[in-house]
Amino acid sequence: MTKTTNKKDSGDVEHKQEQKVDNLKESHKRDVQHKKLAKKKENEQISGLYAELSLLSTNDVLEKENDEGNVEYKWKLCNLTEERFKHLVTQMKYRLSEGQGEAIYELGINDEGIPLGLSEEEFKESYENVQKMAKLCQAECSIICEKVIEDKTKKNEPVKKVAEILVRSMVEGDYLDIRIAVCGNVDSGKSTLVGVLTRGKLDNGRGLARTNVFVHKHELTTGRTSSISHQILGFNSKGEIVNYNNSIGEDVTWKDIIEKSSKVCTFLDLAGHEKYLKTTVFGMTGSVPDYSLIVIGANMGITRMTKEHLGLSIALKIPIIIIITKIDICPENILKETIDNVHKILKLPGVRKLPYHVRTDDDVITCAKNIVSDRIAPIFLISCVTGKNLSHLRKFLNLLPVRRDWESLIDKPAEFYLDQTFFVTGVGTVSEIFLN
């Protein structure tokens, strides 16, 4: 009787173990299916961006041209009559007004978004006509993307070109102003990044670049920002950086930068330490930034203060841009872990952003076109010591669109934000006020 009972008990144990193994296999199978579905959904989201893509490859088809907005498709602009040219100038003025001084022309693309391409002669004539139109609109143009279309079925035919052209107004005394809050944990490289961007000189790895950004003496001693520092980066009508342009000289003042710029990016270098969180909150709310740069040290990863600043940006509905710095000193496994953690936090229910790694100039243009929609979060992996990928970040800042439609706010009451006050000997109290 005992032997029979033991056999029965051992049979039950074996059955339970088999059932447990089957359950584990089923659970693993469900996890794999869930990951596949998540990957498929992410791919669908990325493909959804194709409506506003750059000329990423030779066979991309863009979305049908929109009558509104600052993007214009033109297949070819050859043999234009006087009446047609006047119409095109009026059209460019409309596109510039829609983009508040900026417009993008897609050459070699028809109204349906199909890249038909242009021969070398057609492209040259079309681009010259765009330049003539821009001159009459008091604007300048520059090519930001150029590609060659190859039709494999027609080997003997000459290659055709497509291009993306930036048209920017150059009215004297008038410029686009974009305010960018620079957030992130302490020692993540925020001030160094701002110093490198605005001065044009790489860091030496020991904090040389950030000395140009600090305001107070104790900040130089500790290496930590405790106040809100304002720095500007100017772009002229051709998209060139004005801050370190030789035509101005070595000692460039803000007055020089503003006079030569058609677009100005104002960086608000905020404090990263926990005890200065109130200062950071004040900078994020009072300065009304258009975009938020979340700076993450590759070797440090995401910390509690990084999450605080990210949550603050999302609560204020400010589009975010992720900058992962110090990639030159970070081991590959730690960098991969940091990137994975960034992806996880961006996909959380309260955040719901699509991470988009910027590796090429095409990615830069794609992100610049979609950043206002607040659907994506561009990710830049940079080094302020070696200068890796800084050129992509500079180009992205040049193409950043204006978020606020000031014309729609004309009839609304004015709103003032008191940024800071200070006392000047012989002058008195001076206040810095931001008009929204």
**Measuring CA to CA, which residue among 287, 242, 281, 244 is closest to residue 260?**
242
pLDDT at residue 430 in the model: 87
Catalogue the E-assigned strands of 365-407.
376-381
Is 60 exceeded by the pLDDT of residue 428?
yes
Instruction: With beta carbons less than 8 A apart as the criterion, state whether 179 and 288 touch.
Output: yes
CB atoms within 10 A of CB 355: 18
pLDDT at residue 224 in the model: 64
Neighbouring-strand partners of residue 357 = 379
pLDDT at residue 16 in the model: 65
Strands 263-269 vs 229-235: parallel, antiparallel or unpaired: antiparallel
Is 50 exceeded by the pLDDT of residue 57?
no
Is 60 exceeded by the pLDDT of residue 51?
no
What is the residue-wise DSSP string for 10-43?
A: HHHHHHHHHHHHHHHHHHHHHHHHHHHHHHHHHH
pLDDT at residue 52 in the model: 44
Q: How far is CA 195 from CA 83, 204, 305, 377, 385, in A?
A: 50, 12, 22, 23, 12
Residue-wise pLDDT for 266-303, tens only, equals 998 888 778 878 888 888 887 788 999 999 999 999 99
| Nearest-5° Cα angle at 295, 291 to 299 | 165
Say whether 433 sits in a helix, a strand or coil. strand
Is 70 exceeded by the pLDDT of residue 154?
no
pLDDT at residue 53 in the model: 47
What number of residues does the chain have?
Answer: 436
Instruction: With beta carbons less than 8 A apart as the criterion, state whether 93 and 161 touch.
Output: no
Residue-wise pLDDT for 99-112, tens only, equals 888 899 999 988 88
Burial of 5 (C-beta count, 10 Å sphere; 0-12/13-18/19+): exposed
CA 380 to chain CA mean position, Å = 9
CA 216 to chain CA mean position, Å = 30
Say whether 392 sits in a helix, a strand or coil. helix
State which amino acid sits at residue 372. V
Segment among 54-63, 165-174, 199-208, 359-368 with least mean pLDDT: 54-63
Residue 167 pLDDT level (bands cut at 50, 70, 90): very high
Residue 381 pLDDT level (bands cut at 50, 70, 90): very high
pTM of the complete model: 0.77
**Measuring CA to CA, which residue among 177, 178, 99, 179 is closest to residue 141?**
99
Instruction: With beta carbons less than 8 A apart as the criterion, state whether 325 and 295 touch.
Output: yes
Residue 328 pLDDT level (bands cut at 50, 70, 90): very high
pLDDT at residue 158 in the model: 72
**Between 217 and 54, residue with greater pLDDT:** 217
Q: Taking the CA atoms of the chain, what radius of gyration do you get in angstroms?
A: 27
Q: What is the DSSP letter of 272?
A: -
The sign one gets for the Cα dihedral 254, 260, 264, 265 is: negative
Q: What is the DSSP letter of 389?
A: T
The pLDDT mean for the chain works out to 81
Instruction: With beta carbons less than 8 A apart as the criterion, state whether 102 and 138 touch.
Output: no
pLDDT at residue 269 in the model: 84
Residue 393 pLDDT level (bands cut at 50, 70, 90): very high
**Measuring CA to CA, which residue among 339, 336, 402 is closest to residue 368?**
402
**Between 322 and 148, residue with greater pLDDT:** 322
Is 70 exceeded by the pLDDT of residue 436?
no
Is 60 exceeded by the pLDDT of residue 49?
no
pLDDT at residue 46 in the model: 44
Q: How many CA atoms lie within 13 A of 193 on its CB side?
A: 35
Share of the chain above pLDDT 70, in %: 77
Average pLDDT (112-136) is 90
Q: Work out the angle between the directed axes of helices 120-136 and 82-98 (0-180°, nearest 10).
A: 70
Give the H or E element holding residue 183: strand 176-184
Is 70 exceeded by the pLDDT of residue 11?
no
